[in-house]
């Protein structure tokens, strides 16, 4: 049976604002008829439901017959989209350009060739200003068709100019396509696997990147070519845990939008994603001062019109701004204070349930679990880690693995020794199966297993010994991924000093500020 997360019509209706719902009803009333009045009844019935339930829908609405429902749903879906289409969206350049192309075709079909060409000229100029080369190409192809079929005498040497423009745009479009493919495939690799797990992973990613990176001249690149180029290097550096490369190219990503300020409106989501990655780079590099500057820039942007330009921008702003706020508490060692964010985040996760992908939700769960763990509330940490562990692990294998490892450590903290023997075997098998076992994890498993038989006076020396071993691995590129997901050194130090993790983090943060 369809449910809220899979029924497309129900999702669409629940995504509508009050203004959009009112506009839909006005739109339908303009063409009122028996069929349209029935789809309004179906619309209202679905709008009142919290979860989609077809049986309940038919039971409460006797006028809607089961054999009619499929056709009614299809008609309603189309009418809603049509009503949204007529809402003027001055900020959506794609819709504006598409409308101009429609006008040009209508004029052409009426035999008004010169008027059609005039609209196409305006379309090309608008598309050029906003770096929309696909629309430029569509307009040129249409112009070529008109010139080939009709004698317009519109401009001298028009054929030569159209051919020249077409070749130039096709070249840029080809490079944009190659770079966007490279960026997307690298990002897809990261979403599935996380960071490179071993040298074999790293080698495969290097070969893929070098093979698929096209030849380019940075001086001649357009906005989108630069954007996808910087994104490709960004994901490449991030996967390999080359954090300096990651930082350099996320900075270029954001700087690109400062250079092309108009594109903050056209590509608001891309700008927001760039700010998120720049914040993540400063977080990973422990650049607190620069992190603060970019966070302030992001918060200012979140209050701008561009951040509220559409649902995508609003939701992305919520996701990435709150991830940054949590990361700020990690840097400062203020885990307990960071827990004040949790009720607001949970409320928004519920509100945006229809829109958020599973990956973003898992990231929030992991970060919230880390806040609870760092503040000493292991029970709540386990509660959020279970939300990850109980998910089907078809993405972010890295999060799945480290959620299980932190889950094991949280139970260790609680002294749930009856569970630990099973958990050690279970988590070890899982991480081995996912090829996610490094020297750091191997040492942690050995220690926890061995600790059961240690006498009380030998526990602290054992923690110190493990800390010394792991600190030697912090500079290793492959091993460093373990420290990015779990501050194991801070945990070991908290066991040695017998204080909460956040006190260790806070002390480290304050010492770092004094050095500055």
Q: For the segment 423-445, what is each residue's pLDDT rounded down to a tens digit?
A: 999 999 999 988 888 889 999 99
475 pLDDT above the threshold of 90? no
| Of 20-29, 337-346, 395-404, 497-506, highest mean pLDDT | 337-346
Query: pLDDT digits over 247-296, tens only?
Result: 999 999 999 999 999 999 999 999 999 999 999 999 999 999 999 999 99
Query: pLDDT digits over 149-181, tens only?
Result: 876 655 567 778 888 999 999 999 999 999 999
Q: How far is the C-alpha of 45 from the C-alpha of 65, rounded, in Å?
A: 14
pLDDT at position 30 is 79
194 pLDDT above the threshold of 90? no
Q: How far is the C-alpha of 443 from the C-alpha of 424, rounded, in Å?
A: 12
Residue 509, number of CB atoms within 10 A of its CB? 17
| Cα–Cα distances in angstroms (integers) from residue 50 to residues 10, 13, 17, 66, 132, in the given order | 10, 11, 16, 21, 40
Q: Give the CB-side neighbour count of residue 17, counting CA atoms within 13 A.
A: 7
Q: Give the pair of three-digit tokens for residue 130.
A: 């906003």
What proportion of the chain, given as a percentage, has pLDDT over 90?
67
What proportion of the chain, given as a percentage, has pLDDT over 70?
95
pLDDT at position 2 is 38
Q: How far is the C-alpha of 243 from the C-alpha of 345, rounded, in Å?
A: 28
Residue 201, number of CB atoms within 10 A of its CB? 18
325 neighbors 313 (Cβ within 8 angstroms): no
Q: Give the CB-side neighbour count of residue 381, counting CA atoms within 13 A.
A: 25
Which residues, in sequence order, are CB contacts of 375 under 8 Å at separation 6+? 335, 336, 338, 339, 500, 501, 502
Tell me, what DSSP letter sits at residue 112? Answer: -
412 pLDDT above the threshold of 50? yes
pLDDT band at 7 (very low <50, low <70, confident <90, very high): confident
Q: What pTM value is reported for the model?
A: 0.88
Mean pLDDT of 106-114: 93
Q: How far is the C-alpha of 384 from the C-alpha of 389, rounded, in Å?
A: 9
Q: Counting every residue, how long is the chain?
A: 516
Which residues, in sequence order, are CB contacts of 251 under 8 Å at separation 6+? 278, 281
515 pLDDT above the threshold of 60? no
Which residues, in sequence order, are CB contacts of 59 under 8 Å at separation 6+? none
Query: pLDDT digits over 219-243, tens only?
Result: 999 999 999 999 999 999 999 999 9
User: Residue 439, exposed/middle/buried by CB under 10 A (0-12, 13-18, 19+)?
Assistant: middle
User: Residue 436, exposed/middle/buried by CB under 10 A (0-12, 13-18, 19+)?
Assistant: buried
5 pLDDT above the threshold of 60? no
pLDDT at position 396 is 75
| Cα–Cα distances in angstroms (integers) from residue 515 to residues 156, 332, 368, 509, 512, in the given order | 70, 15, 30, 10, 5
Query: pLDDT digits over 20-58, tens only?
Result: 999 999 888 876 655 567 889 999 999 999 889 999 999
Mean pLDDT of the chain: 90
Which residues, in sequence order, are CB contacts of 281 under 8 Å at separation 6+? 243, 246, 247, 250, 251, 287
Q: Give the pair of three-digit tokens for residue 126.
A: 């608008």
pLDDT at position 3 is 41
- Torsion over CA: 164, 167, 170, 174 (sign): negative
Which residues, in sequence order, are CB contacts of 128 under 8 Å at separation 6+? 136
Mean pLDDT of 192-219: 93
75 pLDDT above the threshold of 60? yes
Q: Give the pair of three-digit tokens for residue 19.
A: 């203004």
pLDDT at position 4 is 42
8 pLDDT above the threshold of 50? yes
Q: Does residue 489 or residue 476 have the better pLDDT? A: 489
pLDDT at position 393 is 66
Q: Give the pair of three-digit tokens for residue 430.
A: 């899982």
Q: Give the pair of three-digit tokens for residue 40.
A: 């309004």
Place of tokens 């609680």: 414
Q: How far is the C-alpha of 331 from the C-alpha of 323, rounded, in Å?
A: 12
512 pLDDT above the threshold of 90? no
């Amino acid at each position: 049976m369809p449910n809220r997360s899979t029924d497309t019509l129900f999702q669409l209706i629940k995504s509508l604002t009050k203004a959009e719902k009112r506009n839909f009803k006005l739109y339908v009333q303009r063409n009122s008829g028996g069929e349209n009045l029935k789809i309004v009844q179906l619309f209202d019935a679905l709008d009142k439901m919290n979860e989609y339930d077809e049986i309940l829908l038919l039971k409460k609405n006797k006028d809607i017959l089961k054999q009619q429902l499929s056709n009614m749903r299809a008609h309603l879906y189309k009418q809603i989209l049509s009503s949204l289409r007529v809402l003027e969206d001055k900020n959506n350049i794609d819709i504006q350009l598409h409308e101009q192309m429609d006008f040009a075709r209508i004029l052409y079909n009426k035999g008004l060739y010169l008027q059609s060409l005039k609209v196409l000229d305006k379309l090309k100029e608008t598309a050029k200003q906003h770096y929309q080369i696909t629309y430029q190409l569509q307009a040129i192809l249409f112009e070529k068709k008109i010139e080939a079929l009709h004698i317009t005498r519109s401009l001298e040497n028009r054929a030569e100019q159209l051919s020249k423009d077409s070749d130039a745009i096709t070249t840029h479009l080809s490079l944009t396509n190659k770079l966007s493919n490279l960026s997307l495939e690298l990002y897809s690799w990261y979403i599935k696997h996380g960071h490179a797990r071993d040298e074999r992973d790293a080698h495969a990613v290097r070969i893929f990147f070098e093979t698929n990176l096209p030849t380019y001249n940075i001086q001649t690149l357009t906005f989108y070519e630069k954007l996808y180029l910087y994104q490709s290097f960004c994901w490449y550096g991030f996967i390999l845990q080359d954090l300096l490369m990651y930082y350099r190219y996320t900075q270029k990503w954001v700087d690109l939008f400062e250079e092309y300020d108009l594109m903050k409106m056209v590509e608001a989501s891309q700008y927001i994603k760039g700010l998120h990655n720049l914040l993540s780079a400063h977080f990973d590099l422990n650049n607190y001062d620069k992190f603060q500057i970019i966070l302030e820039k992001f918060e200012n942007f979140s209050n701008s019109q561009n951040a509220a330009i559409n649902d995508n921008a609003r939701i992305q702003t919520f996701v990435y701004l709150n991830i940054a706020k949590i990361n700020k508490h990690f840097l400062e060692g203020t885990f307990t204070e960071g827990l004040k964010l949790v009720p607001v985040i949970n409320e928004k996760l519920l509100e945006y349930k229809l829109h958020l992908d599973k990956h973003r939700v898992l990231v929030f769960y992991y970060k919230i679990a880390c806040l609870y763990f760092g503040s000493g509330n292991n029970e709540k940490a386990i509660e959020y880690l279970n939300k990850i562990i109980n998910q089907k692990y078809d993405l972010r294998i890295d999060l799945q693995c480290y959620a299980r490892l932190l889950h094991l450590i949280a139970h260790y903290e609680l002294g749930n020794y009856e569970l630990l023997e099973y958990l050690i075997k279970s988590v070890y098998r899982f991480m081995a199966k996912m090829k996610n076992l490094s020297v750091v994890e191997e040492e942690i498993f050995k220690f926890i297993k061995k600790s059961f038989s240690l006498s009380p006076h030998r526990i602290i020396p054992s923690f110190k010994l493990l800390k010394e071993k792991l600190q030697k691995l912090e500079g290793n590129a492959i091993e460093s991924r373990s420290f990015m997901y779990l501050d194991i050194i801070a945990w070991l130090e908290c066991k040695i000093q017998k204080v909460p993790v956040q006190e260790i983090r806070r002390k480290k943060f304050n010492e770092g500020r004094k050095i500055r």
